[in-house]
Amino acid sequence: MYFIIELSKKENGVVLETTTSTREEMKMKDVLKGVTVKILSLIIIIALIAGGGYLAYKHFVGNIFGGVGHETVSSVDVVKEKLEVAAELNTGSYLCTDVITKADSKTFKDWKIPFTEKSFIVQYDGIVKAGIKDLTKADVSQDEDTIIIKLPDVEITGIEIDNDSFEKLDESNNIFNPITVEDLNDAQKDLKDKMEAQAIEKGILDIARENAETVISGMLSDYDVQIEWK
């Protein structure tokens, strides 16, 4: 067994005390120091974790209950995205069957050449569509809990002719001026203009506007929506 001797002296050189320690005691002290350091390290780690958790919790709660600005931007962005996905919104349609009459003659310097007249009467079924052509042009804002959507006005979005419904009611062909495919195409263009005017007269735009409000309100039923028109 080994001893470590420590001496303490006063100024006059007289030994006041002598302390002896065994090697086993020194080892025990080292062990205790190591345990103490480990415990302190563990306490520090726990404190850091707890502190980080508290800050995360505070940040989370702040975003939910205090982050009004973030919530506003999020709601507006979500509404804009839904409108952009919908893109074109057709909310009105008018089914019709119309007849068009076409007649002409060959001319020479604004003078009709005799015996070159041709004419025909044809009938087509068609559908006129109305709605909002581009929902991405809608303006979206928020006033407290209300989402305000300003929509571009409705318009005629398309006119489709059912070629299978074609029916020739009358025809006066001429060997010197025969009826051509171009004549029939021109007739369809005139027929579309006629169908559009008829649909507007029957109130298709008002119907499309009313239906658009209903559809968009239903599409955004999770929000308190106020719809306005530009």
**Residue 55 corresponds to which tokens in the numbers above?**
């800050």
Q: How far apart are CA 35 and CA 43, in angstroms?
A: 12
107 shares a domain with 9 = no
224 shares a domain with 158 = yes
100 shares a domain with 73 = yes
146 shares a domain with 40 = no
Could you tell me if 36 and 24 are in contact, meaning their C-beta atoms sit under 8 angstroms apart?
A: no
Share of the chain above pLDDT 70, in %: 68
- If one counts the domains in the chain, the total is 2
Give the pLDDT score at 153: 95
Out of 66, 89, 105, a domain closes at 66
pTM above 0.85, yes or no: no
Mean pLDDT of the chain, nearest integer: 76
Out of 9, 34, 66, a domain closes at 66
Question: Which residue blocks in 62-147 are alpha helix, DSSP H?
Answer: 68-86
103 shares a domain with 37 = no
Out of 66, 84, 118, a domain closes at 66
Give per-residue pLDDT as tens, 124-150: 999 999 999 999 999 999 998 899 999
- Looking up tokens 């480990």, which residue turns up? 38
74 shares a domain with 56 = no
Tell me how crowded residue 207 is: count the other CB atoms within 10 A of its CB.
Answer: 18
108 shares a domain with 36 = no
Give the pLDDT score at 24: 52
73 shares a domain with 25 = no
Residue 154 has φ and ψ, to the nearest 5°, of -75, 155
151 shares a domain with 168 = yes
202 shares a domain with 102 = yes
Question: Which residue blocks in the chain are alpha helix, DSSP H?
Answer: 23-61, 68-86, 181-201, 204-219
* Lowest-pLDDT range of 62-66, 88-92, 184-188: 62-66
The torsion defined by the Cα of 70, 76, 77 and 82, in degrees rounded to 10, comes to 150
Could you tell me if 79 and 140 are in contact, meaning their C-beta atoms sit under 8 angstroms apart?
A: yes
**Bridge partners, residue 19, by sequence:** 6
Residue type, 18: T
Q: Is residue 124 exposed (0-12), middle (13-18) or buried (19+ Cβ within 10 Å)?
A: buried
Domain that holds residue 134: 68-229
Residue 40 pLDDT > 90: no
Give per-residue pLDDT as tens, 175-225: 888 888 899 899 999 999 999 999 999 999 999 999 999 999 998 888 999
**Bridge partners, residue 122, by sequence:** 100, 168
Tell me how crowded residue 169 is: count the other CB atoms within 10 A of its CB.
Answer: 11
